[in-house]
Chains A and B, each alone.
Chain A
């Protein structure tokens, strides 16, 4: 199945190289949500992250001719998304004050059902937003994109030792932030 997906993706990329925008659209729809999550790790603001992601995908379309299948397309794409996001961060010098994020903390009888509602996702996103950029990015690259340490090294330029340390710290800090947000309900989550 994995091999079949890889072949399908290769066919799509070859069509994009010939200027097929329909094939490009299929690829965008496949990777856009994960890519946005990575951009949000850096920019902490969904609107800015979407703008940066648009720019990144345009770069991908323009540079697709240079993609030589030496690494996976996902690795190549994520590197462009991350570099574009960091460039945007430098331009805007984003200092989102995270304490201004309002949390809808459910009260009363509905509290035990917290984790079964849409808010669960939102609280996790908020907790990740409160992490340091590097930690949030590495957590997503490792757990969301399911990349190996070596691949994360190539994409980010971080050393393997830093990635391992940030993974460990990121997990602890995610736990800490979720505890701050959810209080005792964190036990149901974990």
Chain B
């Protein structure tokens, strides 16, 4: 078999994709884009709230350590325990939400 004949035969052997190949592919790509966009707009504000909550908790802790339970020098006595508890719960709830979002995003990325 000479080269020219081999070329001719191999070129004839081209295999065609299914009729819906490109449509299926584009649907998968669109699905990935939508998942990424949904994740992005939910993740960013949640993460921002988490960061602010951590900063607020840190600041509050610092004020408590410095000035006792009279927070912000306004004459309002607030117990340390409730403040710390509420702050910690908020931070952990926000962290949990962020992790759930990321897990959902990762699962959908693997499935598409």
Contacts and interface: CB of A to CB of B under 8 A. Distances in A.
A50 B21 contact: yes
B15 interface: yes
A113 interface: no
Interface residues of B, number: 24
A81 interface: no
B15 to A, nearest CB: 5
A21 B28 contact: no
A24 B29 contact: yes
Interface string A120-162: 1100110010000000000110011000000000000000000
Interface residues of A, number: 35
A57 interface: yes
Interface stretch (A6-14, A33-41, A90-98, A101-109): A33-41
Given A124-B9, A144-B10, A174-B1, A50 B22 contact: no
16 contacts: A24-B29, A53-B21, A54-B21, A121-B13, A124-B9, A139-B10, A140-B10, A143-B11, A144-B10, A144-B11, A144-B14, A171-B1, A171-B3, A189-B9, A190-B1, A190-B5
